[in-house]
Amino acid sequence: MKLSVVGCGYLGAVHAAAMASIGHDVVGIDVDERKIESLSAGRAPFFEPGLAEILTEGIESGRLRFSTDMADAAGAQVHFIGVGTPQVKDGYAADMTYVNAAVDALLPHLSPGDVVAGKSTVPVGTAAALAERVDPTGATLVWNPEFLREGWAVQDTIDPDRLVAGVPEGPEGLRAAQVLRDVYHPSVAKGTPFLVMDRATAELVKVSANAFLATKISFINAMAEIAEVTGADVTQLADAIGYDDRIGRKFLGAGIGFGGGCLPKDIRAFSARAEELGRGESVAFLREVDEINLRRRERAVQLVVEGLGGQVFEKNVTVLGAAFKPHSDDIRDSPALDVAVRLHGLGANVTVTDPAAINNARRVHPQLTYVEDRDLALTGADAVILVTEWDEYRRELDPTHASTLAAGRVVVDGRNGLDAAAWRAAGWTYLGMGRP
């Protein structure tokens, strides 16, 4: 099928390349010339395992190309909208500028029978409003949310755990759902659940999924706070409640909490939208979820201060990690970098290392010192704090080896990812999150 993907950021670039890899003829469109140049040369503008390979393969096969000209979308049967919906500068709501601009620019190039499939995470009600603009062209607007995780984006796009199609009522909607089934044919054929619903439900599915995940993380972090005043161990607690399959162990990793380009802004936008709808109280708990999450960053800083005997001024602190999570170079709303910046603010000599995110981090926080080599970064440290659980730190850093590099013996485990017993055995004072 001929497809266009409008917006070539995280979501759009991966979607375009993944659709080409399953056999479609795809054009990716973005207003950012540098991004288009990079993608056209087969270079992923961000770190995402497997993306460069499917980009190159798609371009070489002739099935994938990129353009800054919206007119190149003409002739595609399905137009995916994958532009960003960041948090507005002066509030909690989602900034809809890019979605509106993308749809407006697409309108002159639509033909009757085309399907416009929104993938961006949007406030519920957006699709209904956009449909008023799309309907006169004879195209059909549907909502087809995306659930990809950074670091697993290619796999999540090619082989998702479910597909959601929010369509208008009647034969037009049923036809559009069939068009989406055809787009995702390999997944549909292998039995991946394909759920057809109305557009408002589809929009809500996405935000409620992210709200649930954020709540799960803040729940366990709230338990960590209680554990801290009772001497309990939140990691054992998580294991024990996680065996109940109604609860499940996933997303019960207590630590410095969630960040990234999705969960924080999505729960805030959800709160803002619920307020607009007069139902703010229904998701009032999301404010609490956000606050618990932000408190944990401060707790990690406090542990470093305590570990260093009450003050960090002019002490060397090595921060292991900058990305908001491993397998990503994304530093948007990164709890890891926030912890580093807070320590720097307290007067510590902060050295940050990360296998992928240093360049991005340096651009935003040039005041911190960045060292690419892990062992060099550890050299002379009075305290070490793990904030992104890359394997390089969690599994591959031997505490005895670390002892030969660092000056002090204080390690704070901001992700509860280290082997506490091994670090203690090597002579370190190990301080975890919500652990004795």
Pairing mode of beta strands 316-320, 78-81: unpaired
Q: How many residues does the chain have?
A: 436
- Nearest-angstrom CA–CA distance, 74 and 124: 28
Is 152 exposed, middle or buried (CB count within 10 Å of its CB: 0-12, 13-18, 19+)?
middle
Structure tokens at 390: 């890359």
Question: Is 252 one of the binding residues for ligand UDX (CB under 6 A)?
Answer: yes
DSSP state of 94: B
Residues paired with residue 25 on neighbouring β-strands, in sequence order: 2
Question: Is 321 one of the binding residues for ligand UDX (CB under 6 A)?
Answer: no
Residue 219 or 423: which CB sits closer to ligand UDX? Answer: 219
Binding mask 128-157 for ligand UDX (x = CB under 6 A): -------------------xxxx-------
Question: Is 251 one of the binding residues for ligand UDX (CB under 6 A)?
Answer: yes
Order of all β-strands in the sheet with 349-353: 369-370, 349-353, 316-320, 383-386, 410-413, 429-432
CB of 370 to ligand UDX, least distance (A): 20
CB of 333 to ligand UDX, least distance (A): 8
Structure tokens at 112: 């009757």
CB of 259 to ligand UDX, least distance (A): 4
**Contacting residue, 5, 6, 134, 262, with ligand UDX by CB under 6 A:** 262
The helices-and-strands tally (H runs, E runs) of the chain is 18, 14
**Contacting residue, 115, 122, 164, 213, with ligand UDX by CB under 6 A:** 213
Find the catalytic residue in 78, 130, 139, 262: 262
- Nearest-angstrom CA–CA distance, 358 and 337: 10
Taking the CA atoms of residue 100, residue 106, residue 111 and residue 113 in that order, the dihedral angle to the nearest 10 degrees is: -50
Residue 165 or 406: which CB sits closer to ligand UDX? Answer: 165
Instruction: Answer for the pair 423, 399: CB distance below 8 angstroms, yes or no.
Output: yes
Sole window of 28-36, 88-96, 184-192, 246-254 interacting with ligand UDX (rule: CB under 6 A):
246-254
Residue 162 or 279: which CB sits closer to ligand UDX? Answer: 162
- Nearest-angstrom CA–CA distance, 49 and 47: 7
Note if 262 is an active site residue: yes
Sole window of 20-28, 106-114, 164-172, 258-266 interacting with ligand UDX (rule: CB under 6 A):
258-266
Residue with the closest Cβ to ligand UDX? 253
CB of 297 to ligand UDX, least distance (A): 11
Q: Could you list the residues that contact ligand UDX (CB under 6 A)? A: 147-150, 210, 213, 217, 251-253, 255, 257-260, 262-263, 324-325
Residues catalogued as catalytic: 262
